[in-house]
Amino acid sequence: MKVNKRYKNNNPKYIGCKFGRLLVYEIIFKEDTSGSNAIYWRCACECGNTVEVRPQSLKSGNTLSCGCLKSEVKSKQMTKRNIKHGMSGTRLHTIWNGMRARCNLKSGFAYVYYGGKGVKVCEEWLDFQGFYDWANANGYSKDLTIERIDVDGDYCPENCKWVSMSEQSRNKSTTVWVEYDEKKMSLAEAAQSAGVPYKNVLQRIKKLGWTAERALTEPTYDSSKSLRAKCLKRGANYSVVYNRIHNLGWEESRALNTPVMPGANQYTYKD
């Protein structure tokens, strides 16, 4: 004879049965989501909580606790991930996250210059531990930053090194490369080697069309020796000194050192 399922679940024999962490101690009727009375088993959980569960959920194994078991499993998983390297929030971990974001995060501002151009992070570095091991074996320190040797290449051990910020700023897709002192170097490095201001050299090449050799070797104008700078240094009025030289024909030394008479115009003076 077929037993009515509703009656079966209402059988007192289930009181005292244990399913996972839950011990059935009372059978009750309560309204379910459809508005009908349904059978529930009131259970005591090992953690001390009380919970009311549908019999089918207990019998199928879908429900094994009041929810504490799921929380514990999740907590253990989180702990395991954190213990794996214990470096979350450190500078090296931040560098690793930034590297992956530039290559994979399409909504990121830098994606167009990295992932958008086909730059990828190698498979070995998709796991932080692999990146961490390489970094520490290849000279990483807190004052250095990661740089790709080939600016169009991927982030991988063969194409990366640790450099200072000043060195990295010279290795960009916009970097101007020149031949100087029989070596290929960035224009910034060449200007530093030649003792010439980088901005002056760049302007000579970009705006005046000079060759790199001429831009690097020809003396630059020293603004500290200009008439305006000399006036500023002596506290003299530039307009007065300028007119004395260009309109009155005075020597520069006389124009700079001759004081102006109080209340007089710019052409008057006293020797």
163/182 Cα distance (integer angstroms):
24
What percent of the chain is predicted at pLDDT more than 90?
A: 34
64 and 132 in a single domain? The answer is: no
Residue 24 belongs to a domain with what CATH number? 2.40.10
* Least confident window among 95-109, 127-141, 164-178, 219-233: 164-178
Is residue 144's pLDDT more than 70?
yes
- What per-residue confidence (pLDDT) applies to 270? 45
Quote the mean pLDDT of the chain.
82
Same domain as 97, residue 147: yes
* 182 and 247 both lie in a single domain: no
Do 112 and 144 have their domain in common? Answer: yes
pLDDT at 227 exceeding the cut of 60: yes
Are residues 17 and 55 located together in one domain of the fold?
Answer: yes
Looking at the domain assignment, is residue 82 inside a domain? no
**CA angle 151-141-156, nearest 5°?**
35
Query: How many domains, in total, are found in the chain?
Result: 4
Q: Quick one: 62 and 18 in the same domain?
A: yes
- Would residue 78 count as lying in a domain? no
pLDDT of residue 188: 78
Which percentage of the chain shows pLDDT scores above 70? Answer: 83
Q: Do 160 and 191 fall within a single domain?
A: no
Q: Are residue 238 and residue 213 in the same domain, yes or no? A: no
Mean pLDDT, to the nearest integer, of 163-192?
A: 72
pLDDT of the residue at 271: 44
Of the candidates 123, 126, 92, 98, the one whose C-alpha atom is nearest the C-alpha of residue 111 is 98
Q: Is the pLDDT of residue 25 over 70?
A: yes
pLDDT value of position 170: 60
Same structural domain for residues 181 and 152? no
pLDDT at 206: 83
Residue 28 and residue 96 in one domain: no
Region of poorest pLDDT, from 40-44, 89-93, 100-104, 187-191: 187-191
| Domain membership flag for residue 237 | yes
Residue 114 to residue 100: CA distance in whole angstroms: 10
Is the pLDDT score of 265 beyond 60?
Answer: no
DSSP state of 159: G
CB 117 within 8 A of CB 146: no
Does 114 reside within a domain?
Answer: yes
Characterise 103 by phi-psi region: left (phi > 0), alpha (psi -120 to 50), beta (else). Answer: alpha
Pick the closest to residue 103 from 123, 93, 117 (CA basis). 117
Residue 247 lies in a domain: yes
Whole-number pLDDT of residue 2: 45
Query: Rounded CA gap, 144 and 167, in Å?
Result: 10
Q: Confirm whether 76 is domain-assigned.
A: no
Q: How confident is the model at residue 1 (pLDDT cuts 50, 70, 90)?
A: very low
Cα–Cα distance measured from residue 211 to residue 178, given in angstroms and rounded to the nearest whole number: 10
Range of the domain at 39: 5-70
pLDDT at 156 over 60: yes
Residues 233 and 249 in one domain: yes
Any idea which of 78-82, 127-131, 258-262 has the lowest mean pLDDT?
A: 78-82
Q: Are 248 and 266 in contact (CB under 8 A)?
A: no
Residue range 32-77, pLDDT digits in tens: 777 788 899 999 999 899 999 999 999 888 889 998 888 887 767 6
Residue from 65, 59, 66 nearest 5 by CA: 59
> Confidence class of residue 183 from pLDDT cuts 50, 70 and 90?
confident
Same domain for 164 and 118: yes
- Flag whether 121 is in a domain: yes
* Residue 26 belongs to a domain: yes
On the question of pLDDT at 147 being above 80, the answer is yes
Distance CA 120, CA 141 (A): 24
pTM over 0.85: no
Place of tokens 């005075």: 250
